[in-house]
Amino acid sequence: MRLRFRFLWLLLRAVLKKEDIPPDGRYVLHFWLMPFDCVVLLAGNDRYHAFLDLCRFHVALVLGWWRKLLFGSWRAQLVSCSISHRAPLRVFERFTVSTRIIHFNTRFLWLIHTFESNNASIAIAVSKLTLQSHHASVNLRSVPHLFEANNYSLLDPTTISKLYWIEQFLKQHARSCS
């Protein structure tokens, strides 16, 4: 229920106030950590993922994809997400989550999310997404506004090839274990 209120706030904000694609590529949301977000006065792991869901939807709203996502022609699917925690978030602490598109190809979109409080990095997450349309992947090279938002990759080609290699290695390892 608590996520629904934040989602509704985000949706109303997008409809009432048209946000432009940020020139630096950072999509920033501000939050307060409330008591219902906490486990013994600190943020629980599930809350980080909930905030990441809101941030990913915020990117979709700013890029103008919300009609296709809400009315059913597209579905955004989270393929993987990895979070590295550096410091805990405490109850009633104000923090920001900035999201950037770091790379995309024809099938997948990679985002980096940075949680910050008092000018210090609290946690960093990397998400890998895909868009589905009626049981087929959407070609991200043809998605409107994606090139305007990020007409370059923040990753160098060797890092991208390592990213693909690690992904293939993990897939093969998962098959050999099952």
Q: Over the stretch 81-105, which tens digit does the pLDDT of each residue have?
A: 888 888 888 889 999 999 988 888 8
DSSP class per residue in 97-139:
EEEEEEEE-SS-EEEEEEEEETTEEEEEEEEEEEEEETTEE--
Provide the 8-state DSSP code for 150.
-
What was the pLDDT predicted at 155?
64
pLDDT tens readout for residues 159-174: 777 777 766 776 676 5
Q: How many CB atoms lie within 10 A of CB 145?
A: 12
The average pLDDT across 108-134 equals 88
What was the pLDDT predicted at 117?
92
The average pLDDT across 42-69 equals 81
* 83 Cβ contact partners less than 8 Å away, ≥ 6 residues apart: 45, 48, 49, 52, 123, 124, 125
What class has domain 2-177? Answer: alpha beta
107 and 128 in contact (C-beta within 8 Å)? no
Average pLDDT, the chain: 78
The average pLDDT across 132-150 equals 71
The average pLDDT across 144-155 equals 57
Q: Which residue carries 């409330």 as its tokens? A: 34
What was the pLDDT predicted at 97?
93
* C-alpha span between 88 and 122 (Å, rounded): 7
What was the pLDDT predicted at 95?
93
CA dihedral 26, 119, 54, 87 (to 10 degrees): 130
The residue that leads in pLDDT, 142 or 119, is 119
- Burial environment of residue 57 by CB neighbours within 10 A (0 to 12, 13 to 18, 19 or more): buried
* C-alpha span between 17 and 136 (Å, rounded): 32
